[in-house]
Amino acid sequence: MADRIILTCTLVLAGVYFWATAQIPTLELGDPLGPKAFPRMLGVGLLLGAAMLLAEIIRNSAKAKISAEKGDASTEPKWDKHHWLVVGIAVWTALYIGTFEVLGFIISTALYLLALTVAFNRNRWLMNVLTSVLFAVISYFMFTKLLGVNLPPGILPF
């Protein structure tokens, strides 16, 4: 099942890529190939990969039939509730990135870390609060003042 999803996505990607390649305007000046030739080869390569995958799917389903007759349990990955956890973390990370320049590095990072550590390192409040705040403050000053890396100050004055 999972392999069939990959196959579908691969074919869709190949289609989109071919379409996007066709959109590139060409002004062929002295370059015999132009900017489209290599991408077209890649599109063909991706279709080849899809064909290889199809061959593997057919071979594996033949194998799976044999093992199913023997009564082996299926090892197909299934969507379970833990995947919602990853979706949740991704949304929280997106919020962090979205507020990164507005709130500034220190505030957004401290808030981001605090929520995650509270969720995954339970019942150790002091440790979580200290790590989140100290990491945000110390790394901000270390990177901006010592290493010359620019981080957004945001609403804080420094």
Partner 1 sequence: METLTHILNGFAVCMEPMNLWYTFLGVLMGTIIGVLPGIGPSAGIALLIPITYGMNPTSALIMLCGIYYGAKYGGSTTAILIRTPGEAASVMTSIDGYEMARKGRAGAALAVSAIGSFIAGTIGVIGLTLFAVPLASMALKFGPAEYFTLMLFAMTAVSTLTGESPAKGVIATIFGLMIATIGIDLQSGQARYTMGIPEFQDGVGFVVVVVGLFAMAEVFRGLEDIYRGTSAEAMKITGKLWLTKEEWQRSIGPIWRGGIIGFVIGVLPGAGGTIASIMSYTTEKRMSKHPEEFGHGAIEGVAGPESANNSDTAGALVPLLTLGVPGGGATAVMLGAFIMYGVQPGPLLFQNRPDLVWGLINSMYVGNIMLVILNLPLIGLFVRLLYIPVGILYPLIVAISVIGAYAINGSTVDLWLILIFGLIGYVFSKLDIPVAPLVLSLVLGGIMEQSFRQAMTISGGELKIFYNSGITVTLLAMSVISVALPFVMPMLRKLGSKGDES
Closer to partner 1 by Cβ: residue 68 or 119: 119
Shortest CA distance to 33 belongs to which of 21, 19, 49? 21
Closer to partner 1 by Cβ: residue 67 or 71: 67
Q: Are 57 and 1 in contact (CB under 8 A)?
A: no
User: Residue 123 Cβ, how far from partner 1 at the closest point, in Å?
Assistant: 11
Closer to partner 1 by Cβ: residue 71 or 130: 130
Alpha-helical runs (H) found in the chain: 2-23, 37-69, 82-103, 105-120, 125-141
User: Residue 98 Cβ, how far from partner 1 at the closest point, in Å?
Assistant: 8
Shortest CA distance to 107 belongs to which of 95, 121, 118, 91? 95
Residues in the site for partner 1, rule: CB under 8 A?
2, 5-6, 10, 13, 17, 20, 24-27, 29, 31-35, 37-39, 42, 45-46, 48-50, 52-53, 55-56, 77, 82, 85-86, 89-90, 93-94, 96-97, 100-101, 105, 109, 112-113, 116-117, 119-122, 124, 127-128, 131, 135-136, 139, 143, 147-152
Other Cβ atoms within 10 Å of 89 Cβ, number: 14
